[in-house]
Every structure is written in structure tokens, then in C-alpha cells.
Amino acid sequence: MSDFAKGLEGVVAGQTAVSLIHEEAGGLRYRGYALNELTERASFGEVAFLMLNGRLPNQVELNAFRALLKGQRYLPPPLRRVLEQLPTTSHPMDVLRTGVSVLGCLEPEGPDRNQLTIACRLLACMPSMLLYWHAFTTSLLRIETSGGDDTTAGHLLHMLHDRVPDPLHQQALDVSLTLYAEHEFNASTFTARTITSTLSDFYSAVTGAIGALRGPLHGGANEAAMELIQLYRTPEDAETGIMNKLARKDKIMGFGHRVYKHCDPRSDVIKVWAGRLAEGSEEGRRMMAVAERIEAVMRREKKLFPNLDFYSAIVYNRCGIPTKMFTPLFVFSRLTGWAAHIMEQRSDNRIIRPSSEYIGEPARPVTPIAQR
């Protein structure tokens, strides 16, 4: 049997200039910029511009970029009608997957391969898809998605709650979008690059990436983390519950990481914001105490650290975002990384086609059907 890496772990599958994961050298860089510096000194809008254009914008460029996105938040009537037909019980990730596919039919990528235009259109209108569906299926409201707040975080919270968002909530959500924007050759990004390598269109690559991100071992972990935290009313309950889960060898979502071995540097940033938001209410403080006890037990018993998804769950919950919308928020952010990788794959393309090792039956003859 030949040597191979299960799950392609440790295999270098290509080159990229989009991001670098280097745990010993500070964790994660977007196009050369340290992520912790970006969260402190740049907005998600600036980071999105960086992902799509390869450099940070100046103020004039940022203003123009925000204006462009505000002008692209509208939904075509046929897309709105499709969204209205989707069941209330649909998972929001399925809604987004369907919405992107429909938009690809209505506004197909032309022969000029106007990929940057499509990337901006999707970045602008994907939150509109989700919130339009949510408002219609829960309240039969056909909300207006055009225009709105200058930032993605502000516009999303405004559409969701129908009021000007709390500045602290908006800032926390903005930081989380920056933290989720890009992460090298993760499963959804590699899916997008694989689809792109066949010379398929931009929408198909994004649709496939959404499908990959939907899984609980990838994007869905933040939803599972929230469900875990909400199981327990006190830190003591949490300790007992987690110990029981570990004894049963249950998987505890929101801990450990395929790439990071000692800590997820993004988790340290989002935990600070989770704490700030939690301070505002007794329920928030209770949830934070439970989460910190779960973290302590996992470190003590399994030597595992929280990843970005764990404390992001508290941030989103404190912003009043329904749990099933947590992974779609990941999509709105990671779309910028996907787009950067799609464009990079196209710039120097070769179809991605790995080999496999056969482990099936040895050669055998086909017995005539009358003799079987």
C-alpha cells in the first residue's frame, strides 16, 4: 500500500498569494497583513476590498466601494418569487445556495468573464437574499433590501431587526466578518478552486463552496457551539455535562483545528468581543461563564483550544441573530476569500485532478446472469 494523507492533511495542493497560515509567526495573514492588525485598524469593507483587489483602499476608494455595494443590494423580482416559495423549514444555507444558483441564471457570467463585478454583486446581495426570505417566511413581509447602511454588518442588522443597530453590536459583527474572511485552502475554498479549475462559471464555484461550508465539520460548527452552550444553565452544569460527553466519546464542536496545533489566534480576538457584548445583560454573563468553563474543561481534559466558531456563537447570539443564521454570516464573509481564490485559480489554471489508491476487489470475471 502506498503512502497517502487521509483527508489530504499536510499535502501542498497549490500556491496562493491570498493568505498565509503560520502559527509560529503570528497565526494568519491576509495578503501580507497580520489579521490582528486588520481587526484593529481596518473595517470589513477595507478587508473585502483587499481580498478582491490585492491592496487596501484609501478613503476615496473605500467610499466608492461602499457606494457600489449599496447600489447592488437589490433582488430581481424572479429571485424574490423563488425565495418566497422556499419552505419556512429550509436551512438558511440551503436558501443561500438556491439564491446564488438562481441569480446565476438571471445574471449569468458573460464571455468577458466579468468576475469582479459578479463578486461585488454577490457580496452586496447575499445578505439581502437571506433576510428577504426570513422576513417573508416568518412575517409575510416583503422588505426593501436596496440601499441601506454603509457597512455590511450595519445593513444586515438593520434588515434583521428593522431598526438602527447598536454600535457595539455592529462593530463586533464587523470584526467577526474580518476574522472569517479567508483561511487558505480550507474545504469550501478548495471546493471553489476545484470547480473553477474545470472552467466552470463563478456562480457554480460559489454554490459548491456554500455546500461545503454547510457541513458541521466546517462552517456549521458555530451553530453546534451555540447549541452546546445553551444546554447548560451554570458553569457547574457545564462541567458535569462536558465530562459526561467526553466519557461517551461525543464530539465537542468548536474546539481544536485541522491546521492550528496550539491555539486559534482568531479565537482570542473574538473572545474579547464576546465578553464585551455579554457584559450588557445577566443572560450574557451567564452564557459567557458557561462557555469559559467548557473551555477550561476541554483544555484540562483534552488539551484542546477553542476555535473561532466557539465564541463567535456568543457574539452572534448577543447581536440577536437566530442560530440557524450563524453559518450564513460565515458565507457573507468568506465569499471575499472564495472570490480571491477563484480569480487566482483562473489566472494560472490547470484542472485539479488528484489520483486515488484503489482498495476494492481484485480482477474478477463477469459471470453470465443465468449462472449467478
- Write out the catalytic residue numbers: 218, 257, 309
Give the whole-angstrom CA distance, residue 177 versus residue 160.
17
> Residue 264: CB partners within 8 Å, gap ≥ 6?
27, 257, 305, 306, 307, 308
User: Are the C-beta atoms of 258 and 9 separated by less than 8 Å?
Assistant: yes
Q: Exposed, middle or buried by CB within 10 Å (0-12, 13-18, 19+), for 224?
A: buried
What is the secondary structure of 290-303 as a DSSP string?
Answer: HHHHHHHHHHHHH-
Q: Which residues pair with 27 in a beta bridge?
A: 22
> Residue 1: CB partners within 8 Å, gap ≥ 6?
357
Q: Which residues of 265-276 are buried (b: 16+ CB within 10 A; e: fewer)?
A: bbbebbbebbbe
Closest alpha carbon to 188 in 26, 35, 333: 333
Rounded to 10 deg, the angle between the 282-302 and 221-229 helix axes is 110
Residue carrying C-alpha cell 469559559: 292
Give the whole-angstrom CA distance, residue 61 versus residue 15.
29
User: Are the C-beta atoms of 173 and 73 separated by less than 8 Å?
Assistant: no
User: Are the C-beta atoms of 316 and 330 separated by less than 8 Å?
Assistant: no
> How close are the terminal C-alpha atoms of the chain, in Å?
32
Q: Exposed, middle or buried by CB within 10 Å (0-12, 13-18, 19+), for 172?
A: buried
Give the whole-angstrom CA distance, residue 264 versus residue 299.
13
